[in-house]
Each structure stands twice: as structure tokens, then as C-alpha cells.
Structure 1
Amino acid sequence: MSEERSLNFIEEIIEQDLAKGRHTSILTRFPPEPNGYLHMGHASSICLNFGVAKKYGGKTNLRFDDTNPVTEDTEYVDSIKEDIQWLGFQWEKELYASDYFETLYQYAVRLINKGLAYVDDSTSEEIAEQKGTPTQPGRRNRFAERSIEENLQLFEEMRAGKYKDGEKVLRAKIDMESSNMLMRDPLLYRIRHVHHHRTGDKWCIYPMYDFAHGQSDSIEGITHSICTMEFVPHREVYDWLIEKLEIFPSRQYEFARRNLTYTVMSKRKLLQLVNNKIVAGWDDPRMPTISGMRRRGYTPKSIRDFCDRIGIGKRDNSVDLGLLEHFVREDLNKTAVRRMVVFDPVKVVISNYPDGEVEMLQAENNPEEETITYREVPFCKELYIEREDFMENPPKKYFRLAPGQMVRLKYAYIIQCDSIVKDEQGAIKEIHCSYLPESKSGADTSGVRPKGTLHWVSIAHAVSAELRMYDRLFTEEDMDNVPGEYTDYLNPDSLKIIPNAYAEPALKEAKLGEGYQFLRKGYFALDKDGDADHLVFNRAVGLKDSWAKENKK
């Protein structure tokens, strides 16, 4: 994290706590529920929790909030761990709320013995009706008058599996007239006869979030429990339970969500996109998931820098997707190796180049490297260039290839268009050129200085590749406030495929997880769908940085 910026409010709290001796060390936690893949909202929380702990010499636990076996799966556990490590963080302990099921059960028994919890036979509809409204107090039902002994027996029978799902719940006895609706005797346990991904069929009662979360924090000795603003009303329950149980006083602090423009962050909506096959899976490169961004070619550093830049606050807002793309582009410019790829080829024949000759030219891998490294690029008589780089009747100030006009071929020679060959439909089939032998890059003695430079590939050595050109998944900037169904705003052009582009042979050595700049085209990453005989690349971002241009000082 940058040391130059001012402290955020969480850092201010931590520094005050350390200065007052409230804590001698910092322990945070990242507590995802394993019911889906992590997205950019989670990335902010990860960077915050791990970042502040690291800054102040503390540690961070990874704790899976696995208290709802209906929606949870080990697939999600594995993906979450992979995402955190890919972002560059390592947890102190890998823990699960299910590790504490016995302790939490005993905590519930303690509340019953204090007369602070009771078993309720009401239906969910009855409970909701009895809670009242924000302007009308709730009322307790007759089950709240059960004796401690009866409640202990019923709760034990709930654990033993005597009752069906929904037949009984355990509730805290707090205040049915509280202005905070969550304090009106919140549910602590419900019955779920469902197989759990870790505990199997050992348990058929499961703690509610409000009961499991704060107590798990306390068991671990979490000093600063950082969550998003929607949990502000839950803090009163959090504090009440810790006080009544007389356990380690963990404290909850909230920060605001940062939504991204042109996307949705709701896990429910993302799941619908996957289940309805609108996208190709959780790691579809159009998804705002960390795995999707990794597959698209985003880098861990770019996401960390983005999260650091947007910071944290106490008011929800949306962040321009262009800012994230700016950081991706900025990092890839420094790290991505350069390669030449022709998307829409037209054939160039260099008439005065020797037949059958192949020349290996030296090309920089990345001009941003401290120590420049090179690769060899084959050059011969027949090449591909981009069809858009030739114009038969060009306008003024057109600096690419045209009849009688010269351009430089990147890393190679200066060529001049002498003639063209068209097919029966009148489309250009071949461009016949001559080259200046004395104009070789790095040893040019021709004295000619053309204004245009084109990329190219040798036809004889070209490697075929499929290119997937990704754009924003939705057409509207603020997807949280659109009328109607969010799926009405899907971008029909969010994916365009170029089935047969032609690349220089060095791309055959491409590896997953590495970034590539296709000269004059954009930044790309190898996709897992391809193989040695069928390369597939995803465009991460284009070369143009609209955000930086619009935000110049």
C-alpha cells in the first residue's frame, strides 16, 4: 500500500488502538461464504484486510463462513483460496465457521441458561409478522415464556434431529421494541437436514450469520472485524452477543462498497448469468469475478493498485471501469512481451526479395525492460499485413501503405507499393512491393524516412490463432438503477471472435498467466481453451487509455 497517501479511517482506528494499548498486535480476517466465486467487491475487502494487517505487522485469517450447507461447495472453497493467493496474499490460518460448531452450540446453551434465548415453534411468516415494522414495535409470543429447563431440552432435541426443517428455531431474547429490527429477538439457530461439505451429517442445526460471525471473530481473537456497510445494523447484535457471552471483545467496523460501472456485483445475478448460460462460467472473461479477470489477462498488481487508488469510505459509490483498465494497461505495458499478430490479413509479395530466402531479424521483447532482451522473427518474400493498413485511394496525411507510397515494416525494411492484384469480385488479393535492401532496421543507410510503420508476419512461418475480443457485458453504466430486468441491458457485442489471425512463430511458446502486447492492437493473454495446435487468446484491454486521457491534470 502507498505510504504517501493519507490514512483511511480504518488505519486511523488501528493507530489509535495501538497507541492506547487496546491491542498490541493486529489480527484481521477475510470471511467469505463458499457459495460462489469472488468478484471485484471481494478484491477490495481482501486488499483492505490483508493490507492493513501487513502494514501494522499483523496477520490475517481466512475463515470460511460455511453455516449454510444448502448453497456451499468445496469448488467455491478451492476457487477462493486460489484467488487470494493469485492476488498476492497469504493467510495466517485457514479456518471454517464449522470448526466452531460445538463451541457455538455451547455458547447458545449459555444464553439459554441466562434466560437470554428460547426455542420458538412459530413459522417464519408468524415470526416476521410478530416483529412488527420500523414504526410499530413487535410483540413476543407465548414460546418466549418457556422455562430454561424446557428450552434446554428442546434445543438438545433439535440437535438430535427430532424435528423437521422449519419446525423450531432458537431465538435470542433481546428487545421486541428496539428501533433496530435486527434486535427484535433475532434467530440464532435453524434446523437444516442437509449434508454439510465438511461436517457431513453430524449436524442438523446450523447457526445464523449473526450468531456465528461475531463469536467466530471472538474465538480467533480478531481485533478489527472489517465488513461492508450493509452490516451496520448487525453491529448492535454483534456487540450484544459478545457482551452477554462474556467473551473476547472483537469489534466490527464497516466500509462502503465500490461498485464497477457496466457490470453487476450481486452474487445472485452472477449466478443467474452462469446458470442461464449467458456467460461461459464463473471465469468467463466478461465477468467481474477475480477468476474471470485473471483469465482475461488482468494482473494481480493492477487489481491491487486499483483497490489502493479507490480507497475506502463510508458511502457506496460506483467506480469507472476505465480506471481499472488504466491500471491493467499500465502494468502490462511494463511486463508484457511484444509480439506481431495480423488480425485481418492481406498478402504482400516483395518482388525483389530473393526467392526461398529466410532472414532472421532481431526484435525487442519489451522496450520497457531494464535490460532489453530479443527474439528472432523470420522475414521472407511473402508476408501478411493488416488489410486496414492498405488503401488504394488514400486521403491526404495517410501514412500507411498505398500505391507508390513507402512504409517501414517493424524490425525489418522499408517497402514501397508497386502494384496490386484483385480477385474476380474486385477485392485486393495481393499487394506487390519492392524493398530497400539498405534500409534494414538498426543498420539503415537508405536516408529514407517514411512516416508509417506497420506490423507483419511471414506467411511461411505464421501461426494461426483464435482471438476473443471482449467488451463490457452490459450497455448501461449504472446497472444498479436500471428499470426492468438487468438482462435487458446485455451488450450483444460483448464478445467478438476472430477465428483465424496470423501470428509470428514466437507465440507458439506462449504460456498461461503471461501477458502479451500485440503490436498496435492491444494486450492479450493465452486462454485455457486452446492447445498447441489451436492457440486461443483473450484481449485484456486495448492500447488506448480513455480514462487517463479524460483525467489528465
Structure 2
Amino acid sequence: MTSETPAPETRSLHFIEEIMEADRESGKHGGRVHTRFPPEPNGYLHIGHAKSICINFGLAKKYGGSTNLRFDDTNPVKEDVEYVDSIREDVRWLGFEWAGEYYASDYFPLLYDYAEYLIQAGKAYVCDLDEEGIKEYRGNFFKPGRNSPYRDRTPEENLDLFRRMRAGEFPDGSRTLRAKIDMQSPNMNMRDPLMYRIKRAHHHRTGDAWLIYPMYDFAHGISDAIEKITHSICTLEFEDHRPLYDWFLQQDVDGKFFHRPHPRQIEFARLNLTHTVMSKRRLLQLVTENHVRGWDDPRMPTISGLRRRGFTPESVRAFAERVGVAKRDMVADVGLLEHCVREDLAGKAPRAMGVLRPLKLVIENLPEGETHWIEVANHPERPELGRRKVPFTREVYVEREDFQEVAPKKWFRLAPGAEVRLKGAALVTCREAVKDAAGEVVELRCTWDPASLGGDAPDGRKVKGTLHWVSAAHAVKAEVRLYDLLFTAKDPMDVPEGGDWRDGLNPQSLEILADARLEPALGEAAPGATFQFERLGYFVADPDGKPGAPVFNRTVGLKDSWAKAEAK
């Protein structure tokens, strides 16, 4: 992540590409590349999922293959159609399209048949231990496991009990189906893992047809094999699950169930981001406990939150490319993510003027009712974006912070006696600051040089300060939301003993300015339209806005500390 980072088209292959290249060269899978993105529909996708989406879809595209979108809907208690819809929208927003849409629930009948096959082969058994009993018998990393008292049931007895589990004869949690592998294994995942549990829960697709549901580790590899996936790419926490992934597929000894060769699971380092949390469970807590305004709150690391904040799909894809594909977990600096969106928007966001904390400036020698329409470029480097006209009148608004009554040295903005340029309009000189009864400055009295209309001094005199402004008579009142880091700590989970990760929430993560004033054209901005407000940063029109009463979210400011760090 330095300024010498090679461009995507010139960088060396990462380890997943090397595996795919070797498989294609050997003719494995007939040279095909077929990946899948398997989200569980129990929450909204976040920036870590965006990296996974880019890897799965991007690699398939690179090698002329395809990618399936498969929802891992094996836990109906936590899943919802709302999440399914949001996931579809997020993948498409990132610029990808799937070859087919599938669900683990599509395979419930085959998964059940394969479970019966394993039972008959003596590879699975029904266990009556409860959750605590299973945990006790499994042992831990320092203590080997013990065989369940029910491990030696005959295949006939297990088959009968499993069918009765499906028929609903037993209460929830009273019995499970477990794989018979090795309770002495140093890999905890191989100590007779659960395959099915009894759960009376309504499923958003299968309704009440099933009273037992498969576990993820059982359904995952089998779903991949059914779809003839070639490379099953997942994050590093599944590395220890890989032997189990392979074991379930290898028990189909005669090839009755699954196409060969089997999929290959490959793990890459998950993405973590500074000043945020990436656990869906904790993100759900932020939503349900009203620390944020929903899954798409612009402070959230969700894809929908980034979209609402004004991030572009191009910037998110660039970020995923910049952080790269590694074998060790890493933490990306949020500054890099912000740099990527600045870099993208700098070249395409049209310019506009808005004043966030308005202070009225009256030009005393400009007649009332007189309006000059100033033509300005929509982008200084892209003439194809055209030009627009903004009104310049006797009364304008400027930023309150652009005036100081007692100016420090090298202050090039407004102060008594100081001359500044109103961008594109004229040169004005501050003559007087009007105060209210409390001593607060409420208005500036100025004069202008009529010969400077257009913003340049006729005699070539140097004026260093240039300010943005809007006409008071024509300005649109708007609400502007200024977002900051959600957590003050770089690592929100690094809390002292007895502390709570939520203690690190930033109380200043959102500032709402209800009285901002914008140039007229912004009053009709469509939701999602992005602009660079001169001198202030990049802003996006929020869906909460209405014609004539817009709401804008600040995406990022103009200052780019990451770019400066790279240059240094």
C-alpha cells in the first residue's frame, strides 16, 4: 500500500491466481473456473464482503468463467427476505452479475438423502447429548474428546431416529445428527461435528416443510459440489474447516452424489478496517440498539451505508484491489478507503457551491435587485461536463469560519479592511462587521470593485484569498450531514478488562447542519447525485431530501492524509 503499488494490469499474480493458472494448465475441471459467493442472509453485507465479491466475480471474469450467487439459508431463525434483497442490490451495485441464483435450501432434499447415505455407511449417528453435553465430550485444544455414549448405535437405529427427527417426534434440541469422524483429532472441527439439528422455525423459502436443518459445514461443500464449483474461495477462519469440507465430499466413494473432481477450498485473509467493527452480530447490535439509524447509515461499513454516504462502486473495487489478496489477516487503514473515493470523485464529480454555516455579506455599493449571472465551469479539467450560471447579488452568504475580526498573520480570508475574491464573481473588501446584542457577528458590510466582475482584478493586483459563496436571494436551504469515524479507537475491540466495545463509539460521528445554503441547481439534485462542494469536500444527495429541500451527506473532505503519507 505504497505509491509504488503496481497497477492491477501489471502486478504479479497472487496465490489464488497461481492456483487457478496451474489448474487450467493441467486441465483440471476441463480448464473451467466457476466460483460462488455464498452470503448468509442474516444481515447486510459490509466492506469485507465487498472484497470477497470482487475476488470471486473478478477472478471468474478474468478466466472466462462464471460466478453463482448462493444464499446460505440454513438458519431460518436469523434470516430474512430483506437481507436477500439487499445482497442482490449490493452485488449489482458493485458492478457484477451472477450466472445463477441459488439457495442452500434448494438442496435440502439431496442433503437429507446424503445424510441417510452416510448413516447407512456407518459415517453418521444420532446423538442425544444436549448442547452442554456435546461441548463437554468434545474437549478442547488441550484435552482430547470422548466418544458420545450414543456413537455406537447401529445404522438401522440411527436411520430410524433420523427419520423420526424429520417427522417431528422429538423436541427442539433433544437430538442431533453427527458425523462419525475422530474424537481424538487435534482439529476440533473433526470431532464428530453436527450435521443436523431439530429446529421448528418458519423458513422464508421452504415454509414449514422442514423441522430439521443442516449445519453450514455440512451444506457448504455439498452445495459447491452440486453446482460444480471449481474453486471455493472463503476467508481464513475457514482454513481449519477445510479437512471437514473435503471429508464430507470424499465419503461419496462411488460418485453417486457429486461430480468429480471435487471443488477446492481456498482461504484468503479477511479484511478488517480501522475505526470500525466487521462482525455482523455487532453491526446488528449497533442497529437494534439505535447507535446508528439503520443498516444503511452512512457511518456503517456496510455496502449500503457506503453507497448512501456517496462512495462509488469504482472506489470500492479500487480499494479491494489496493489491499490485495493475502494469506494472513490484515487491517486496512480507513484512510486508504477514503483516498480511493477521493481519487475517483476528483475526476468526475461536478463542482458546486454551498455554504454550511452561513454568514450574510452585504455589498453596499451593489444596487438592490441587481443580479449578475456568472458562468462557471462544472469541472475545471473536464470541459465536456459543461458550464452553468450562478446568480451574484447584493447579498450573499459566505462561511462563518472565513471571517475573523482579529486576523492572524497570513490570514487571506475576510477581516476588516481585507480584500478577497468571491470565486468567479468579483473582488470584495470588508468594511464593517455588524454584531447582535450578544456580541456575535451576524453580518458583514462590504464593497465591491465593479471592474472585477468575473473574479479578476482589472489592474492585475494580487488577491490571495478566494472564497465560495451563494446568493442569499436564490440560495436553497438544505440539511447537511457531516459524518466522521464511527469509533474513536483505531481498534474498537481493544478494550480494557471489564470494558465494552461500545464505549469507544464516537459521540461526534454525526453533525447535522439544518441551515446550510446551496446554489439553486442543487435544490433539484436526484438522490445519489454526487458533487464536490468548492473548498469543502465531496457530498451526495440523500434519499431523505425533497425537491427544493435537499439533504446532503458529506462523503469525505478534500484533505487526503493518506495520499500525503504515500508521497512522503
Instruction: Give TM class, smaller chain.
Output: over 0.9
Instruction: Verify the 8 A CA contact 1:333 1:368 in the aligned structure 2.
Output: no
**Residue correspondence of structure 1 range 430-445 to structure 2 within 5 A:** 430-441=443-454, 445=458
Distance (Å, rounded) in 1 between the aligned partners of 2:310 and 2:265: 35
State the secondary structure of the residue aligned to 1:371.
helix
Distance (Å, rounded) in 2 between the aligned partners of 1:388 and 1:131: 64
Q: State the match for 2:547 in structure 1.
A: 532
Q: Does 1:93 align with 2:95?
A: no
Cα offset, 1:444, TM superposition: 5.8
Distance (Å, rounded) in 2 between the aligned partners of 1:120 and 1:344: 67
Instruction: Verify the 8 A CA contact 2:41 2:71 in the aligned structure 1.
Output: yes
Q: State the match for 1:227 in structure 2.
A: 234
Q: State the match for 1:162 in structure 2.
A: 169
Cα offset, 1:425, TM superposition: 2.8
Distance (Å, rounded) in 2 between the aligned partners of 1:277 and 1:429: 37
**Residue correspondence of structure 1 range 106-185 to structure 2 within 5 A:** 106-185=113-192
Write the letter of the residue equivalent to 2:438. Answer: Q
Write the letter of the residue equivalent to 1:387. Answer: R
Q: State the match for 1:342 in structure 2.
A: 355
Give per-residue Cα distances to partners, 1:71-112, cap 9 Å, x unaligned: 000000001111111111111111000000001111111111
Q: State the match for 2:49 in structure 1.
A: 42
What TM-score comes out, normalization by structure 2 length? 0.95
Deviates more, 1:60-69 or 1:181-190: 181-190
Deviates more, 1:372-381 or 1:216-225: 372-381
Instruction: Verify the 8 A CA contact 2:526 2:541 in the aligned structure 1.
Output: yes
Q: Does 1:16 align with 2:31?
A: no
Q: State the match for 2:82 in structure 1.
A: 75
Alignment identity in percent?
60
Distance (Å, rounded) in 1 between the aligned partners of 2:390 and 2:299: 33
**Residue correspondence of structure 1 range 46-445 to structure 2 within 5 A:** 46-245=53-252, 246=255, 247-248=258-259, 249-369=262-382, 371-441=384-454, 445=458
RMSD, aligned CA: 1.5
Cα offset, 1:135, TM superposition: 3.0
Cα offset, 1:419, TM superposition: 3.0
Distance (Å, rounded) in 2 between the aligned partners of 1:355 and 1:515: 34
Write the letter of the residue equivalent to 2:430. Answer: C
Q: State the match for 1:4 in structure 2.
A: 10
State the secondary structure of the residue aligned to 1:76.
helix
State the secondary structure of the residue aligned to 1:461.
coil
Structure 1 402/186 Cα, relative in aligned 2: closer, same or farther at 3 Å? same
Distance (Å, rounded) in 2 between the aligned partners of 1:361 and 1:307: 42
Q: Does 1:25 align with 2:32?
A: yes
State the secondary structure of the residue aligned to 1:332.
helix
Write the letter of the residue equivalent to 1:506. Answer: A
Write the letter of the residue equivalent to 2:508. Answer: D
Instruction: Verify the 8 A CA contact 1:284 1:292 in the aligned structure 2.
Output: yes
Structure 1 segments of 4+ aligned residues over 4 angstroms from their partners:
none
Cα offset, 1:449, TM superposition: 2.6
Distance (Å, rounded) in 2 between the aligned partners of 1:458 and 1:157: 77
Write the letter of the residue equivalent to 2:545. Answer: G
Distance (Å, rounded) in 1 between the aligned partners of 2:436 and 2:181: 84
Q: Unaligned regions of 5+ residues in structure 1, if any? A: none
Instruction: Verify the 8 A CA contact 1:391 1:402 in the aligned structure 2.
Output: yes
Instruction: Verify the 8 A CA contact 2:377 2:383 in the aligned structure 1.
Output: no
Instruction: Verify the 8 A CA contact 2:172 2:199 in the aligned structure 1.
Output: yes
Q: Does 1:497 align with 2:503?
A: no
Cα offset, 1:226, TM superposition: 0.6
Write the letter of the residue equivalent to 1:18. Answer: R
Cα offset, 1:372, TM superposition: 4.2
Give per-residue Cα distances to partners, 1:234-257, cap 9 Å, x unaligned: 100110111112423111010111
Distance (Å, rounded) in 2 between the aligned partners of 1:164 and 1:109: 20
Q: Unaligned regions of 5+ residues in structure 2, if any? A: 1-6
Aligned residues: 553
